[in-house]
């Protein structure tokens, strides 16, 4: 069975789903050359006019990309956006409504906004770069779909473990000691929103992990014991790898699940 802890740093990065991928150098160069820099304070919302007509790149700080749902018990999905990433590849070629989406500035942040029309024109001016934008947009959407499926089908405990792992990877933590430090402070409410769970449930899980000696706090930062990730699969949906494709997460809680059943050899009796 493939284990996420055994992956190299590049493979760890590709196994994350809670945070978008770092923008590639050629796209980053285009953004810096053609974009406009703006600074926003913690608690600000990115104006809808900017959200609708521009790509938004985070230079420094922290953003929450919020998508409203129709479930009044869980009214929003929250993506955390760390530096060197785009908030979304939303509406790449169409200027449609963004009423269900908003971007909140979680920490004082510096952004670069790029008019989408400049990107559309690349189809005439630089087809290779335009193709790269389209490829990355599709990959972004794929990761977002994987995240949505993971959040809707995984246990709260698995969601917390996966999120902690992704945060460690994104902040380039060296997995070389038993205890690893998450290099950013997030509130209980922020983490609960990101995991799509209640604050009460988060408190119960964190309390349990502390009793097991798997998490602690040091200088106000959360520290995680690597033993927490022993059962974590490289696949964001819990599948082992291409060889097995059985869900570790599902198997832990449902010993007779459909994934296991579907992987059994099929025996068909043919009438002579």
Q: Taking each helix axis from N to C terminus, what angle separates 188-195 and 199-211, rounded to the nearest 10 degrees?
A: 100
Instruction: Tell me the C-alpha distance between 197 and 200, whole Å.
Output: 8
The ranges of the chain annotated as CATH 2.60.120.10 are 17-152
pLDDT surpasses 70 at 85: yes
Segment holding 28, helix H or strand E: helix 25-34
Cα–Cα distance between 238 and 73 in angstroms, integer? 26
- Looking at residue 10, its pLDDT comes to 84
Distance in angstroms (rounded) separating the CA atoms of residues 189 and 193: 6
In whole angstroms, how large is the CA radius of gyration of the chain?
Answer: 20
Delimit the CATH 1.10.10.10 region(s) of the chain: 4-12+155-262
Terminal Cα distance for the chain, rounded: 41
What percentage of the chain has pLDDT greater than the value 90?
50
Look up residue 205 and give its two tokens: 């899980």
Q: Which of 191, 165, 161 is nearest to 180 (CA)?
A: 165
Cα 13 to Cα 165: distance, rounded to the nearest angstrom: 10
pLDDT at 237 over 80: no
Superfamily (CATH H level) for 17-152: Jelly Rolls (2.60.120.10)
* Maximum CA extent, the chain: 76
Average pLDDT over residues 149-161: 91
> What CATH fold (topology level) applies to the domain 4-12+155-262?
Arc Repressor Mutant, subunit A (1.10.10)
Distance from C-alpha of 168 to C-alpha of 146, rounded to nearest angstrom: 19
Mean pLDDT of 7-24: 86
The structure's pTM equals 0.81
pLDDT at 2: 54
């Amino acid at each position: 069975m493939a284990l996420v802890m055994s992956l190299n740093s590049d493979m760890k990065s590709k196994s994350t789903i809670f945070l978008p991928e770092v923008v590639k150098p050629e796209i980053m160069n285009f953004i810096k050359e053609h974009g406009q820099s703006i600074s926003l304070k913690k608690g600000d919302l990115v104006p809808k006019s900017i959200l609708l007509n521009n790509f938004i790149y985070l230079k420094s700080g922290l953003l929450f990309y919020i998508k409203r749902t129709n479930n009044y018990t869980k009214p929003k999905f929250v993506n955390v956006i760390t530096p060197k990433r785009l908030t979304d590849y939303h509406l790449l070629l169409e200027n449609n409504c963004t009423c269900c989406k908003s971007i909140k500035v979680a920490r004082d942040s510096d952004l670069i906004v790029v008019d989408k029309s400049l990107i559309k024109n690349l189809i005439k001016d630089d087809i290779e770069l335009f193709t790269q934008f389209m490829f990355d947009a599709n990959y972004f959407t794929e990761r977002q779909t994987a995240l949505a499926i993971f959040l809707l089908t995984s246990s709260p405990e698995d969601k917390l473990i996966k999120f902690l792992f992704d945060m460690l990877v994104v902040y380039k933590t060296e997995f070389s000691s038993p205890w690893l430090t998450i290099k950013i402070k997030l509130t209980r409410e922020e983490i609960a929103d990101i995991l799509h769970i209640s604050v009460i449930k988060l408190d119960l899980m964190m309390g349990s992990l502390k009793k097991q000696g798997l998490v602690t706090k040091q200088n106000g930062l959360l520290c995680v014991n690597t033993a927490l990730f022993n059962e974590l699969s490289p696949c964001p949906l819990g599948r082992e790898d291409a060889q097995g494709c059985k869900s570790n997460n599902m198997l832990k809680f449902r010993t007779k699940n459909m994934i296991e059943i579907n992987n059994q050899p099929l025996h068909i009796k043919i009438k002579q």
